[in-house]
Amino acid sequence: MTAFSIGSWSFHALFKSGRINLFGYLESIKYRYRLQHADIWNGMLLSTEEDYIRCIQETLKEEELTVACLAVDGGDVWHDDPAVREQRHQKALLYLDIARRWGVQTLRIDMGVNAAELTNEQWEHCIARYREYAQFAHDHGFQVGPQTHQRASLVLQNLKRLHEETASPAFGIVLNVSRWADEKETGDALVAPFTVHAQFDRAFVDFAGQGLLHKVQLLSQAGYNGCWSLEFRGGANEYIEAEHDLLTLRRAVKQSQDEA
């Protein structure tokens, strides 16, 4: 069954103004948009305390919602300061356990390298950490990896090397479609085989023309079977703009399937 989701970042202006919280987002996903998959940005969580995490877990179960992706800010693998690096590692471990408890499909933990090229030390550390995280993810039925939005992860060759050297079926890319520093024409196609969650944003993808359909077809032909997720970045009229983009994405996926 084809699954769709809307990233909770799509409602960041409503969240910032206090007009929506995580539970309101989940309610909107289920009853406003009639979806079964959520795409949660951890910036919407008010806490990681036990009672709060359990309450979200119970809500997901009661509403029969699946978390297609849990996106973690602040758990990046690398930081130049070893003390901060360890703090982020502990946060990543916390969210790995939350992902297990919530039964997520994909967990986003970023590389944390804000340069196009990594040093040997950075490579060794990132590969070791992702192997560790991927093993945990594999043992508990989900996948983990970076998102294509930080400087290092916007370079195709970095992602290819990371995928090859992590060497785990539980490692994959959270793809911001068409958001590349280089390889703008070929990047999506080359990471499609190891993309585990794809997010479409009209800031980067041509929703009005044939660009969206082309990207959907590209992923489909590579065997993508994750959730088709959208993110709206406009910061105004978020409910209706997300609804518009969801319908547009649904049409593109349906057309791609009809033409396959």
Confidence of residue 62 (pLDDT cuts 50, 70, 90): very high
Task: Quote the CA–CA distance of 107 and 22 in Å, as a whole number.
Answer: 17
Average pLDDT of the residues in 64-89? 98
Confidence of residue 197 (pLDDT cuts 50, 70, 90): very high
Question: Does residue 183 carry a pLDDT above 90?
Answer: no
Confidence of residue 251 (pLDDT cuts 50, 70, 90): very high
Top CATH class, 4-259: alpha beta
Domain boundaries, the chain: 4-259
Beta strands in 42-126 (DSSP E): 66-72, 106-109
- Residue 73 CA from chain centroid, whole number: 11
pLDDT in tens, 89-124: 999 999 999 999 999 999 999 999 999 999 999 999
The b/e string for 36-47 (b: 16+ C-beta within 10 A; e otherwise) is bbbbbbbebbee
pLDDT score recorded for residue 117: 96
Task: Quote the CA–CA distance of 18 and 37 in Å, as a whole number.
Answer: 23
Task: Quote the CA–CA distance of 198 and 34 in Å, as a whole number.
Answer: 20
Task: Provide the sign of the torsion angle of the four alpha carbons 127, 94, 141, 145, taken in this order.
Answer: negative
pLDDT score recorded for residue 199: 98
For tokens 């309101």, what's the residue?
24
pTM attached to this predicted model: 0.97
pLDDT in tens, 14-61: 999 999 999 999 999 999 999 999 999 999 999 999 999 999 999 999
pLDDT score recorded for residue 20: 98
pLDDT score recorded for residue 212: 97
Q: Which amino acid, residue 42?
A: N
Task: Quote the CA–CA distance of 12 and 21 in Å, as a whole number.
Answer: 10
Average pLDDT of the residues in 5-9? 98
Task: Quote the CA–CA distance of 195 and 114 in Å, as a whole number.
Answer: 21
